[in-house]
Amino acid sequence: MQIFVTGGAGFIGSAYVRAVLKDEFAGAVGAKVTVLDLLSYSGNLANLPMTDSRLRFVQGDITDAALLRDLLPGHDAVVHFAAESHVDRSISGAVPFVTTNVLGTQILLDAAREAGVGRFLHVSTDEVYGSISEGSWTETWPLDPNSPYAASKASSDLLALAAHRTHGMDVVVTRCSNNYGTHQFPEKVIPLFVSNLLDGKQVPLYGDGGNIRDWLHVTDHVRGIQLALDKGRAGEVYNIGGGTELSNRELTGMLLDACGAGWDMVRPVEDRKGHDRRYSLDITKISKELGYTPQVTLEQGLADTVTWYRENRAWWEPLKARAGL
């Protein structure tokens, strides 16, 4: 089996690639992996086992149709992670989000179809649903994105599903909640807060801290992706959540405890523009159809994550310095 992974040098893509190459998925034992990644600010070769003979890494852009035509033939599946992924960056400049997330996804879909690649798994986000005050989103919930990031992901979901309906492509879409774990670029809340606290620096908490997110350990996410790749039905969407809703204030309290710091290390900052209040995913479909259950508890996952950042300063210090974080 040959799997083509876009964005495989990023946080979640690299977790997926490492798991495949460690033969953690019964459906992909011995699989070879091609990673196509632009190595934008969040892509990092240190996330990948570069000497593994089953891994081929290509630095390149998913909007490069000629490169895709060259690379894609012979692959059995595409798992598409590549994206501009940070909401705050989309608020200050949305064009790269449209270019990579929307245009790039369409170019990749076309190239995969022309190359006769088997299944195309499009990795998306719960943010496409908007914000929900009560209850949880099922996969049929209307898309109502608020940030430019979420709008670009919603657009790409629709393009992926349209490729199935129009051309009969074997497309599956997954929508996950907020991921956390090792190797996450330190602009995102958990690695930002942990690395700041380890350095004795304050952490910026948006608004009243009451925004609620469902937290999903990245290893649970990539297991869910592989289940959808192996057994999901073509043309379907599967939510992947962690089943752990927390306000940002509650999350901050857990991170302060884990790092041995107090509330004096928290600096309230002006709320993010258009900040979604609450995300909540209903994961009944993937649980019943594909047998998915999250396995990593938030307590264990956060403890392991804090330990990893404590022990891997050499990974994150240069990234923070370069990004001015």
Given 3, 4, 5, 7, the residue binding ligand NAD (CB under 6 A): 7
Rounded to whole angstroms, the Cα distance separating 208 from 196 reads 20
Note whether 71 binds ligand NAD by CB under 6 A: no
Q: Does residue 127 carry a catalytic annotation?
A: yes
How far CA 240 is from CA of 137, 170, 176, 296, 314, in Å, comes to 11, 19, 4, 13, 31
CA angle 91, 148, 66 (to 5 degrees): 110
Answer yes or no: are the C-beta atoms of 118 and 263 closer than 8 Å.
Answer: no
* Min separation Cβ 142 and ligand NAD, Å: 19
Q: Which residue is associated with the tokens 């149709």? A: 65
Amino acid letter for position 174? T
Q: Which of residues 125-164 bind ligand NAD (CB under 6 A)?
A: 125, 153
Given 90, 147, 155, 179, the residue binding ligand NAD (CB under 6 A): 179
Q: Which of residues 182-201 bind ligand NAD (CB under 6 A)?
A: 185
Note whether 176 binds ligand NAD by CB under 6 A: yes
Toward ligand NAD, which CB reaches closer, 77 or 82? 82
Note whether 34 binds ligand NAD by CB under 6 A: no
Mark residues 94-123: x for contact with ligand NAD by CB under 6 A, - for none: ------x---x------------------x
Rounded to whole angstroms, the Cα distance separating 41 from 319 reads 9
Q: What is the dihedral of CA 214, 125, 206, 136, to 10 degrees?
A: -40
Binding site residues, ligand NAD, CB under 6 A:
6-7, 9-13, 36-40, 42-43, 61-63, 81-85, 100, 104, 123, 125, 153, 176, 178-179, 185
Positions annotated as catalytic residues are: 126-127, 149
